[in-house]
Structure 1
Amino acid sequence: MNQDFISTLLKKVREVNPLIHNITNVVVTNFTANGLLALGASPVMAYAAEEVADMAKIAGALVLNIGTLNSTEIESMIIAGKSANEHGVPVIFDPVGAGATLFRTETSKRIMNEVKVSVLRGNAAEIANVAGYQWNIKGVDAGEANGNTVELAILTAKKLKTVVVITGKDDVISDGHTTYVVHNGHPLLTKVTGTGCLLTSVIGAFAAIEKDLVLAATSALVFYGVAAEMAAEKTAQRGPGSFQIELLNQLALVSNDQINKYSNVEKIEQV
């Protein structure tokens, strides 16, 4: 994948300042909003069933996240998702903890059935459980990998007819036909609550600008991974608290030159 494309897309995101409608979890609301602002997008957190349809239709992207799930928000997500579908707004879905409880799993499947999801983003266990495959899960975190994440992404994308993003040590993006693996990122991302949820919203910001959702998601992952690497380098030996704040800084500061220098992405040739 051409690094110049990623840099150009990042520049467009910062210029356009797309409105990203988030129905996300209470743990990450502030961090997600600040991260989107740092990137150059415009976040809005609207949850009430009375307004979500109106908000979703004017957004550049709609992000649904079931991290702190309740019945009221499920209905809001369905309403917002259908409105986004009607108005050509991409829907990014993060099925946090799918597989941990029946409620989460069934809710994830309901959203996939009732809303046309543009991008499904989660760890391997979450994606597998949404698709009906077997994978270990503990709480809202993936267990040890017991399968091939590239194969899982391709199979799930074909089965659910959506772009699938599986994040982990390496990140996989696939629509079932075109597949990329991104090797950027840093282990400290796993030590700060909400980094995955923020990534889902960052994918939304890129999807608001680029219609090719595989390229949009891949670009978002490279950008986010490089920002994490820069943040880790600048806060070495200072711990996850400093890393979290510096990650926000780097989302605003990462340059085209840094993306060109540090991006590490490969295209998987499928037979």
Structure 2
Amino acid sequence: MNTQTIVTALSAVRAQKPLVLNITNYVVMNNTANGLLAVGASPIMAHSRDELAEMMAFSGALVVNIGTLDSVWIERMRFAVEQANQHGKPVVLDPVGCGASSLRTETSRRIAEAAECLIIRGNASEIIALAGAEAGSKANGKGVDSLDASEAAVDAARYLVQHYRCSVVISGETDVIITENSEFRLHNGHAMMPFVTGMGCTLSALTGAFAAVGETTGLAAAAVLGVAGEIAAEQSAGPGSLQLNLLDALYCLDAETLMQRLKLTSSG
């Protein structure tokens, strides 16, 4: 995948305005919905089992975010994944806080196992915890925050790609995107971004938008958010203004700016 492919994917999202169904946590619903709108997609937050089957039939992708997990939501998440499989829709799993509790870890693994077209987006500690002992490394997370650098999770991500036949996005200071055949590293973004809650969750939601138009590696979403985050940070005094400026940057991002600012390397 080259820069032009990322630009083309962004144009496709804006032209097609895909509907992205989110089963996501209470903390980030507003952030992720606004992020999807700003990039050109259409968000819907659906949590009732009574409507999930109907909605997955016409949604472009499903985003499952376990940030505020409970037993009722777990069953609904599983059902939504079943419906996504039935309709051939991609599933983005955000294993928020995976490793912080056995409930989060086990639920993440069950969702990953069930999804037939899967993209996993998490921070390094979440990715390492999701892979478990089989990947040969130990996570160093603190709740939903990562204490591991992205490179520390590369082997774990490679294991997940093979085990679940998926793509994996490790977000951090460097975003690492691993697919069955390639590895990409993005060096965009800004040090202020982790001080805004739900930034990773927004990336997961955007990943769903791009997956809905056929870009299922997770790379385009990470590239767009990273560049937009850089632009927003340059105009922001702190995290509060960054949240507002990020939406503007996503909305205004054009092909020329994206191509000029993108810092992308690949292998494989």
Partners in 2 of 1:60 and 1:113 — Cα distance? 20
Shift of 1:150: 2.9
Contact 1:32 1:198 in 2 (8 A): yes
Shift of 1:110: 1.7
Shift of 1:132: 1.2
Worse-superposed segment, 116-125 or 258-267: 116-125
What is the CA deviation profile of residues 175-227 of structure 1, one whole-angstrom value per residue up to 9, with x for unaligned ones? 232111111111111000011001101011011112x522xx11111111000
Shift of 1:52: 1.1
In structure 2, the residue corresponding to 1:36 is in which secondary structure? helix
Instruction: Give the aligned partner of residue 53 of structure 1.
Output: 53
Instruction: Give the aligned partner of residue 218 of structure 1.
Output: 219
Instruction: Give the aligned partner of residue 252 of structure 1.
Output: 251
> Which residue type is aligned with residue 106 of structure 2?
E
Partners in 1 of 2:111 and 2:159 — Cα distance? 19
Contact 1:153 1:176 in 2 (8 A): no
Instruction: Give the aligned partner of residue 267 of structure 2.
Output: 268
Partners in 1 of 2:152 and 2:10 — Cα distance? 30
In structure 2, the residue corresponding to 1:226 is in which secondary structure? helix
> Which residue type is aligned with residue 263 of structure 2?
N
Partners in 2 of 1:240 and 1:33 — Cα distance? 19
In structure 1, the residue corresponding to 2:116 is in which secondary structure? coil
Contact 2:225 2:250 in 1 (8 A): yes
Contact 1:135 1:146 in 2 (8 A): no
With over 3 angstroms needed to count, the CA separation of the structure-2 counterparts of 1:28 and 1:146, relative to structure 1, is: closer
Identity %: 45
With over 3 angstroms needed to count, the CA separation of the structure-2 counterparts of 1:8 and 1:182, relative to structure 1, is: same
Instruction: Give the aligned partner of residue 180 of structure 1.
Output: 184
> Which residue type is aligned with residue 49 of structure 1?
R
Instruction: Give the aligned partner of residue 228 of structure 2.
Output: 227
Instruction: Give the aligned partner of residue 127 of structure 2.
Output: 127
Partners in 1 of 2:117 and 2:92 — Cα distance? 6
What is the CA deviation profile of residues 160-186 of structure 1, one whole-angstrom value per residue up to 9, with x for unaligned ones? 221111111111111232111111111
**CA RMSD of the aligned region, Å?**
1.4
Shift of 1:156: 2.1
Worse-superposed segment, 150-159 or 259-268: 150-159
| Partner of residue 149 from structure 1, selected from 150, 153, 156 | 153
Partners in 1 of 2:117 and 2:126 — Cα distance? 15
Contact 2:149 2:173 in 1 (8 A): no
Q: How does 1:101-120 map to 2 (within 5 A)?
A: 101-120=101-120
The count of aligned residue pairs is: 264
Partners in 1 of 2:71 and 2:101 — Cα distance? 14
Contact 1:154 1:179 in 2 (8 A): no
Contact 2:124 2:150 in 1 (8 A): no
Shift of 1:147: 6.1
2:18 is aligned with 1:7: no
Contact 1:18 1:59 in 2 (8 A): yes
Give the TM-score normalised by structure 2.
0.94
Q: How does 1:229-244 map to 2 (within 5 A)?
A: 229-235=230-236, 238-244=237-243
Shift of 1:19: 0.2
Give the TM-score normalised by structure 1.
0.93
Contact 2:19 2:44 in 1 (8 A): yes
Give the gaps of 5 or more residues in structure 1: none
In structure 2, the residue corresponding to 1:68 is in which secondary structure? coil
Contact 2:94 2:204 in 1 (8 A): yes
Instruction: Give the aligned partner of residue 212 of structure 2.
Output: 208
Give the gaps of 5 or more residues in structure 2: none
Partners in 2 of 1:12 and 1:159 — Cα distance? 30
